[in-house]
Amino acid sequence: MTDDLKEYDDIKKQFNEATLPLKELQEQINKTTLPLKELQERINKTTLPLKELQERIDEATRPIKQMQEQIKISEEALKKIQEAIPKPIFSKEQIEALNLFSIAIKPYFDKMQESLCRLGIKLSKIDFKSKLNGAEVEKLKEFYWVIPYNMTNEELNELVHMENIDEFNNFIINYFDKLKIEKIILDISNNFEKEDKKEIIKQVQIAMENKLYAMCITTLMTVLDGLTLELLNPISTYQHKSHEAIGAMLEYINEAPLSDFGYEIYLRVCILNNFYSILYADERKLKDNDKDTLSRHLNSHGVKYLNNILDSLRLLNAIYFCQEIIKETKMQDKFFMEKKTGKGERKRKFKIMENKNDE
């Protein structure tokens, strides 16, 4: 083999090695399609806590970063090969073919870059800022609470790391001093427009001051019932199931674009829905049920009346928490119950409707 032929084979081998990353790049591009689709579904539904969502975003975009690096490496390798190839070895036609190949793949890379830019723009519009990180959802469900009134980030973080229910209960009792109880009752009263509701809250305050907690708990449950009832259309035939409006609200926010409400409001509604799920849980056995967990059914049916400050505070917080969420989401009168019949079955399902003022 002559030196020229040997040099030609070496250059051809270098060229094949240099273009190998492009083949691998095509395979990675094909593999990347599925994670990007999954990422899009995650972004639209946003059912994961922020930390997990961010991890999935990083995981899905990691192959793209690798592709960008390989594109750069491949372009540099091709450039070096073109510079190293002696002019006499390739014909004019071969050189033109190589240039055509470079021109042909450029639009492909340009389109991929455009897709990356669109994804970046979409992610930039989502408000991930939140004092909540998702860990509070399960911890508060475990302790059967909503976020305590006016709690700071530091105090909330301390709460999330508590393992023992007795430790948590003691923390709550110490957290709600006389001044804080007066303030939350005042804020709840100010959130109501009707005088009869302001009056009932005033009497709850008197009962709290006199440690008449059984009266407080029974009364506050009816106040909580009234809050979800206000979410329903006045012609609803299923107003006795109004507490399910919170679950419908969570579903609605979950299906809406994240930018419409934000990540924090989603987590807060999730916390409230968990609270309602426990409070309104169906009790198969009512008579002689000696359950010590706060239950709307046991209380309203006169089976078991609890008499303690902790459950009184639990309900006060839930009322204020619910009031603030309803105000912030502006979902008043946007839910109604619809009855459907089919094959002898009757189903109850919440629907979303526009506010009459918007029609």
CB burial of 212-228 (b: ≥16 within 10 Å; e: otherwise) equals bbbbbbbbbbebbbebb
Predicted local distance difference test score (pLDDT) of residue 253? 81
pLDDT band of 85, cuts 50, 70, 90: low
Of the pLDDT bands very low, low, confident and very high (cuts 50, 70, 90), residue 89 is: low
- Please measure the distance between the N-terminal and C-terminal CA atoms of the chain and give it in whole angstroms: 86
Residues in the chain: 359
- Between residues 166 and 68, the one the model is more confident about: 166
E strands in 92-182: none
Domain boundaries, the chain: 3-124, 135-358
pLDDT band at 338 (very low <50, low <70, confident <90, very high): very low
Q: What are phi and psi of 341, to 5 degrees?
A: -120, 145
Q: Model pTM?
A: 0.60
Average pLDDT over residues 150-166: 87
Average pLDDT over every residue of 49-76: 67
